[in-house]
Amino acid sequence: MSATASWVYTNVSTIWPNLGRDPRTREPLWGEPFVIACTFKNMGATQTDSNGEEFVPQDTVWHEDPTPISAGDRVLIGRDVSYEAPPVDAKPIRKVGGWDMSFFGESPDFVFFT
């Protein structure tokens, strides 16, 4: 974690990667949950998802974790890896983004919106 991130990303979120659907049952398949250091705010500016739909995020989450996070994954603010599938209150990630921090000599930062 970069020097900047170590004092900014003081919270955690649990992510469940979306692996698609079971071909037979059509039930969602979820990857192993993982925890990232982050900071967040409720709400956020209007965004446009990959389907071209505008939405106002329930949460905006900033982080520096290089583990791939994609639209369709689920997130729960806080640490909870006790579930194989995301709990009911885990929110779907609708949009992801990032920006270059190399001018500070640091790793890229990322954001996602629920």
How many domains, the chain?
A: 1
Mean pLDDT of 55-73: 96
Tell me which residue range forms the domain holding 9: 3-113
Mean pLDDT of 79-106: 87
Confidence of residue 38 (pLDDT cuts 50, 70, 90): very high
Q: Which residue has the higher pLDDT, 99 or 107?
A: 99
Q: Which of 114, 111, 44, 46 is nearest to 76 (CA)?
A: 114
| Secondary-structure breakdown of the chain: helix, strand, coil percentages, each rounded to the nearest 5 | 10, 40, 50
14 burial (CB, 10 Å; 0-12 / 13-18 / 19+) is buried
Confidence of residue 81 (pLDDT cuts 50, 70, 90): confident
Confidence of residue 50 (pLDDT cuts 50, 70, 90): confident
Q: Which of 15, 13, 11, 65 is nearest to 39 (CA)?
A: 11
CA distance 43 to 55: 10
Pairing of strands 47-48, 74-77: unpaired
